[in-house]
Amino acid sequence: MKVLLWITFVVMFILIAIPLILLFLDSFKGEEALFTLKNYIDTFTRKSNIKSALNTLYLAISTTFFATLIGSVLAWLIARTDIPGKSILKTLLMVPYMIPPFIGAMGWMFLFGRAGYLNKLWEKFFGHILFNVHSFPGLVLVMTMYMYPPVFITVHTALMSMDASLEEAGRVCGARLFRVMRTISLPLVLPSILSGAFLVFAMTSANFGIPALIGMPARIHVLTTRIMSYIASGTEKGLSRAVSLSVILVGIAITGLTLNNLFVSKSKFTIITGKSTRPTEIRLGKFKMITSFAVWIFVIFAVFLPLFSLSLTSLWKAWGLPFKFSSFTFGNFYKVLFVDENTKSAIRNSFVFAILSATFVTILGSVVAYLSVRVKSLVSKFMDGLSTLPQAIPGTALAVAMILMWSSKFGINLYNTMWIIIVAYTARYMFLSVRTVSGAVRQIHESLEEAGRSIGAKQLRVLKDITFPILKPALLSSWALVFMPTFRELTISILLYGPQTRTIGVTIYELQEGGEYQMASAFAVFVLVIAFILQYVVNRYLLGRERT
């Protein structure tokens, strides 16, 4: 067991720790000195980089405010009121969380771009466009629509876990609804609200897809898009500036996630009690139908309209044709799936990369999970913490770290090959496997394995005959949970792909940037269909088997 522990530790250290250490050290490395601030001075004496950093902060703060407000209000309405259709509303409100943000951004572009459907319709009647999504307010709007779900689910869970007798006591004492909310409910769920807010702040700072598609056409850069621009330049100076910006971005993201973890622990301590009283539904009375109507309008606006515009664009023969039956075709899907060599190659690559990454992550992650639960040592704890670190930092920063690590730094050059992408995916999504499998390992009592060893079975035989069959549902869930995000990943792939290693995410992005809107939309709809099918399989079959 000790040999396996140390082998796993070395693999994890090479996979995750060394690239991140290199990223940090290289940001202080100069041509003549081992430690210098020259890279940071050079980077931040450029006004464009200062502007990008400020844009990142402004975007993160603005998105956090609106996403927290929307998510908290919706969570309260779904969890505590008698609004009709709460079950279906809760499901629909979580749909944006399942959609890759860059694909969602495409749907918003087709609605509110300069030639977007709603803008063209509005201009026809009123002589001017309704809203230009390629602006900072547009960037905040689209980002908010894909960042409110974490707040919604965090606050909803907290509200459902509260001790309802506290609010009941307030109402018994004669306090009105809003006073009970202000003096009792809000203070109790405030840690959860703040937790969700800090999580949104970190996720917004790290996002690449939405700023790239919505902000870059308006020359609005954030740190993630600026890093991509420097890497794309292919120069040594560009790489050093990308490294400096990546370290700054890591600091911003980790600050948000650290504060999130702090308030998660406070949230659990404050509001969850041993009582199992179910919260009493608040009757909205005459406001019931108005509130329900408002929530459904939001769902249509946030969920259905972007997906509808994306689907509609995928069926157009050409952009700008009149709205009639002869203008639509399924030919775009046929071209994407069976004709165009770039898209066919991207589909093959994404399937191969996702399958290999999911397999490697599940194998290594399950070993880390088993050792972290069964072996009580500092090494196992360190590995467990190390597995979550790549998820805590932005994907662009991780990609830059992988470039530093695997571009002949130690005599191994994986750059422009499929393996650097697979290595990056493996590091990025390791936490999914570790968290999924470790929970299952904790449910296996050690006496089962001890019984096998007591009759003379060796450790490997015990793992094969006892532990593995019990863990099989968790391992399958781990594999599927890693396959889904890696199949349509963009943020890491856009910095690491080579001429022969384009992925689906990269290809959709390039088609969109090249003006091939119909093909990009058809490809995006294909990805969404695959994603929803996989999500259904995981929810209905794999996770269902794990619970039983």
pLDDT of residue 184: 67
Q: Are 421 and 489 in contact (CB under 8 A)?
A: no
List CB contacts of 163: < 8 A, sequence separation 6 or more: 271, 273, 275, 277
pLDDT of residue 395: 92
Q: Which two tokens stand for residue 242?
A: 């990308």
Among 433, 374, 348, 377, smallest CA distance to 15 is for 433
Cβ atoms within 10 Å of 461's Cβ, excluding its own: 12
Q: What is the mean pLDDT of each run of 10 residues along the chain (548 residues)?
A: 87 94 88 77 90 94 96 91 90 90 94 91 91 96 95 87 65 66 72 86 92 94 94 88 92 79 56 52 85 95 94 88 85 94 95 96 92 86 88 91 90 92 96 87 71 67 70 86 92 93 95 93 94 79 55
pLDDT of residue 272: 46
Q: pTM for the whole thing?
A: 0.89
pLDDT of residue 537: 79
Q: Please give the helix or strand (H or E) that residue 211 lies within, else none.
A: none
Domains and CATH numbers, the chain: 1-36+324-548 (1.10.3720.10), 44-280+295-309 (1.10.3720.10)
Among 269, 312, 283, smallest CA distance to 118 is for 312
Q: Which of helix, strand or coil describes residue 328?
A: strand
